[in-house]
Chain A
């Protein structure tokens, strides 16, 4: 599967309070969360983000709380993929579980600039920077996690496991 969009560049240690501040956690309605996505990191994000755009972070993206509202908000904002040098552990699990594609690529995280246009081939872990004519590789997901993604998230995986039809 390939996705395409414009890069929104953030730094290291983007935390879950920056992705979706706790003051909005009295709801889990995705469209409402999307309206405040990245609010404390970049005021322009929620109104400026276009469907398909890509978030690029540095090290330790998504650190902090276990709120699944963070990947939910990013996904509901229309972001097609998050690329970072590394992800915080709980965010990584949550993103897989809610079906937000994420790629770990220190190289892409270093090279991609705000506003670059990129094409991402999720299955192969290939990131093509069409603004600069560069290509980067992402670290592939372990097979077990790929299976969860292929099932469409952990819920479908469980449905199979307890004998419900997906």
Chain B
């Protein structure tokens, strides 16, 4: 029996020829990630193990991104602990404000995650790196501490589910719409404990940015990881970035899947997820009249160049509706700079948008755009749980960046076709 790409990567990191879904194995990790919320707890736990040194300082990344630039004294203390730990342990991949980005935009951009790697991160959207053909999964702080100490982690080999996308996407349809559509189809626990493998000709034709968006939201269906095989598009992306050699894996033709789903992409419209679950989706044509107070473009889901370009295309020469606040968060410093060079930031400012330095900020209701009671936001983020962006009685809708930009202009959730 053949193996899936997920099984092959895990087998290789467990020093085995073969693994089966359901087996408990211990795998070596290539990268361990933590942020300003999760790493302080992991550092406490690391101290409790009695170890004095991390297993390999080069294989740890610490990214203060959630509450930075420090939003209050407590956040400042959490970031200080990250900084001190990086110094003490000689961890080179610590990214200070001014050099940082949202972790899941930053690590691929820096070439720190590569095809065939096993990456664990104390952040649920660590699954983003599956877009490069890596096995990447989110864990908690104590697991992060364990991995920092031992350089390995125990995992249950997940059963794989195959998602095949074929056909040409319509105008204004991106990776975000494919993944929202899929989550709407299988539900927020539709892939719990499973590997979501994305393939088909639509995926092969998808930009790397859209691929990151799709893998990013695998956890929103409960998955352990989302993954797509590395191809020419991936290798092109990695050419000048990848730090060190890597190995490309792909699924065997006779690999075993717990389920196979096929989607005709040409039938998928831009999608909008209604409160309070990412699975609560409707095609844009069925949204109806929904006035909004705030639009957020950014996050680890949609804070990349493709997203900013799409938003700028819609916003060029237009103004944000007088009753709407539009906030734009480039994912990293590099994205910020590139957007500046391409003139996108000018388009945003001329449209009356507020542009922020890279941060998670409003995505998790942290700072830089928190919602008041009764307010409604449309965001390109990944979660619309109760209270996610602020007051428990506020609402978050999710969409791609073009829909978000069009909605900012219209003052209600709207299709880019309408502006």
Contact = CB atoms under 8 A, between A and B. Distances in A.
Partners in one complex: yes
A164 B142 contact: no
Contacts of B121: 66
Interface residues of A, number: 43
Nearest to B41: A28
Given A17-B385, A22-B364, A159-B49, A66 B138 contact: yes
A142 interface: yes
Contacts of B140: 66-68, 71, 90, 93-94, 97-98
Contact of B146 (A63, A64, A154): A154
Contacts of B154: 144
A22 B365 contact: yes
B142 A98 contact: yes
A125 interface: no
A1 interface: no
Contacts of B386: 15, 17-18, 40-41
A139 interface: no
Given A18-B387, A28-B40, A155-B48, A63 B142 contact: no
B51 A88 contact: no
A58 B40 CA distance: 31
Contacts of B67: 25-26
Interface size on B, as a range, is: 35 or more
B376 interface: no
Contacts of A105: none
A65 B145 CA distance: 17
A93 B143 CA distance: 8
B124 interface: yes
B24 A63 contact: no
Contacts of A89: 192-193, 222, 224
B388 A155 contact: no
A60 B189 contact: yes
A97 B74 contact: no
A137 interface: no
Contact of B366 (A18, A23, A59, A68): A23
Contacts of A69: 37, 41
Interface in B375-389: 383, 385-388
A27 B128 CA distance: 26
Nearest to B124: A66
Interface in A14-43: 15, 17-18, 21-23, 25-28, 39-41
Interface string B34-54: 000110110011001111000
B259 interface: no
Contacts of B40: 28
Contacts of A90: 124, 138-140, 219
B297 interface: no
B38 A86 contact: no
Contacts of A66: 38, 121-124, 126, 138-140
Contacts of A158: 49, 51, 146, 149-150
A59 B37 contact: no
Contacts of A72: 41
A153 interface: yes
A93 B139 contact: yes
Contact of A154 (B78, B123, B142, B222): B142
A155 B144 CA distance: 11
A142 B365 CA distance: 37
Interface string A140-155: 0010100000000111
Nearest to A164: B50
16 contacts: A15-B386, A17-B387, A18-B385, A25-B66, A26-B75, A60-B189, A64-B385, A66-B121, A67-B37, A67-B38, A68-B38, A90-B138, A93-B140, A94-B139, A97-B143, A158-B146
Interface of A: 13, 15, 17-18, 21-23, 25-28, 39-41, 59-60, 63-69, 71-72, 86, 88-90, 93-94, 97-98, 142, 144, 153-155, 158-159, 161-162, 164
Given A40-B392, A159-B50, 5 more contacts: A13-B277, A17-B386, A66-B140, A94-B142, A158-B51
